[in-house]
Amino acid sequence: MKIIDGKAISAKCKAETAEEIKALTADGRRAPCLAVILVGDAPASAVYVRNKKRACELVGITSLEYLLDKDEPEAKLLELIDFLNKDESVDGILVQMPVPKHIDPERVIEAISPDKDVDAFHAYNVGKLFTGAPRFMPCTPAGVMRLLKESGVSVSGKNCVVVGRSNIVGKPMSALLLAEDGTVTVCHSRTKNLAEITKTADILVAACGRPNMITGDMVKEGATLIDVGINRVGDKLVGDLDFDSCAEKAEYITPVPGGVGPMTIAMLMENTVTSYKMRFNLI
Q: Which of 209, 259, 260 lies closest to 233, judged by CA?
A: 209
Q: At what angle do helices 123-130 and 170-179 cross, to 10 degrees?
A: 30
Task: Identify the pLDDT of residue 43.
Answer: 87
Residue 189 CB neighbours (<10 A): 10
Average pLDDT over residues 25-48: 94
Task: Identify the pLDDT of residue 42.
Answer: 87
Task: Identify the pLDDT of residue 60.
Answer: 98
The Cα-based distances of 174 to 13, 42, 164, 170, 265 in angstroms read: 23, 30, 10, 6, 20
Tell me the domains of the chain and their CATH numbers.
28-113 (3.40.50.10860), 139-261 (3.40.50.720)
Q: Which of 214, 195, 207 lies closest to 171, judged by CA?
A: 207
pLDDT, mean over the chain: 97
DSSP string, 22-69: HHHTTTSPPPPEEEEEEES--HHHHHHHHHHHHHHHHHT-EEEEEEE-
DSSP string, 128-195: HHHTT--SS--HHHHHHHHHHHHTT---TT-EEEEE---TTTHHHHHHHHHHTT-EEEEE-TT-SSHH
Task: Identify the pLDDT of residue 152.
Answer: 98
Distance CA 194, CA 183 (A): 17
Give the pLDDT band of residue 31 (cuts 50, 70, 90): very high
What pTM value is reported for the model? 0.96
| Residues of the chain above pLDDT 90, percent | 96
Task: Identify the pLDDT of residue 78.
Answer: 98
Distance CA 163, CA 183 (A): 14
Average pLDDT over residues 136-152: 98
Give the pLDDT band of residue 23 (cuts 50, 70, 90): very high
Beta carbons of 60 and 22 less than 8 angstroms apart: yes
Q: Which of 124, 96, 92 lies closest to 269, judged by CA?
A: 92
Dihedral pair phi/psi, residue 141, rounded to 5° = -60, -40
Average pLDDT over residues 18-44: 96
Dihedral pair phi/psi, residue 234, rounded to 5° = 65, -125
- The residues that are catalytic are 52, 96, 119
Average pLDDT over residues 62-76: 97
User: What's the half-sphere exposure (Cβ side, CA atoms, 13 Å) at 167?
Assistant: 12
211-270 pLDDT tens trace: 999 999 999 999 999 999 999 999 999 999 999 999 999 999 999 999 999 999 999 999
Strand partners, 159: 183
Q: Which of 229, 99, 110 lies closest to 169, judged by CA?
A: 229
40-50 pLDDT tens trace: 988 889 888 99
| Residues of the chain above pLDDT 70, percent | 100
